[in-house]
């Protein structure tokens, strides 16, 4: 069965510092991969997605993610964090070959930004 693990429940970084949020997945083939962001009390907004091709994916708000098949990972990165990036981040995996199913979400990583 597919699964998504976000090992870090809460991360705090200083404004201007770099950021990496970890995501590991379990799936038999190359899945569809997504990162979403959620501000408190709001819905989820898609940051970026990976379906195939170039393993380094650029997204909105200056975020990027790299798909590493050998590590079953899809980590999210940003070179310089802004205070407005404080939010909760969710990694998700889709099932490109399945007739059933949906996106499987990780439990999220909450990002706090220190001034």
Partner 1 sequence: DGGITQSPKYLFRKEGQNVTLSCEQNLNHDAMYWYRQDPGQGLRLIYYSQIVNDFQKGDIAEGYSVSREKKESFPLTVTSAQKNPTAFYLCASSPRDVGRSEQYFGPGTRLTVT
Distance CA 69, CA 18 (A): 23
Which residues sit opposite 46 in a β-bridge? 36
Applying CB under 8 A, which residues contact partner 1?
Answer: 9, 32, 34, 36, 41-46, 49, 90, 94-96, 98, 100-103, 105-108
Q: Taking the complex as a whole, how short is the minimal distance between the CB of residue 60 and partner 1, in angstroms?
A: 12
CB of 68 to partner 1, least distance (A): 21
Nearer to partner 1, 40 or 115 (CB): 40
Nearer to partner 1, 44 or 65 (CB): 44
* 81 or 108: CB nearest partner 1: 108
d(CA 67, CA 44): 21
Phi, psi of 9 (to 5 degrees): -75, -40
Locate tokens 């091709």: which residue? 53
């Amino acid at each position: 069965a597919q699964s998504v693990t976000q090992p870090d429940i809460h991360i705090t970084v200083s404004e201007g510092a770099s950021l990496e949020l970890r995501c590991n997945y379990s799936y038999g083939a190359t899945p569809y991969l997504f990162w979403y962001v959620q501000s408190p009390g709001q819905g989820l907004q898609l940051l970026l997605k990976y379906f195939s091709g170039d393993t380094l994916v650029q997204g909105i708000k200056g975020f990027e993610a790299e798909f590493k098949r050998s590590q079953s990972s899809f980590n999210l990165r940003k070179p310089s964090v802004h205070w407005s990036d404080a939010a909760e981040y969710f990694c998700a995996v889709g099932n490109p070959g399945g007739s059933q199913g949906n996106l499987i979400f990780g439990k999220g990583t909450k990002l706090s930004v220190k001034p």
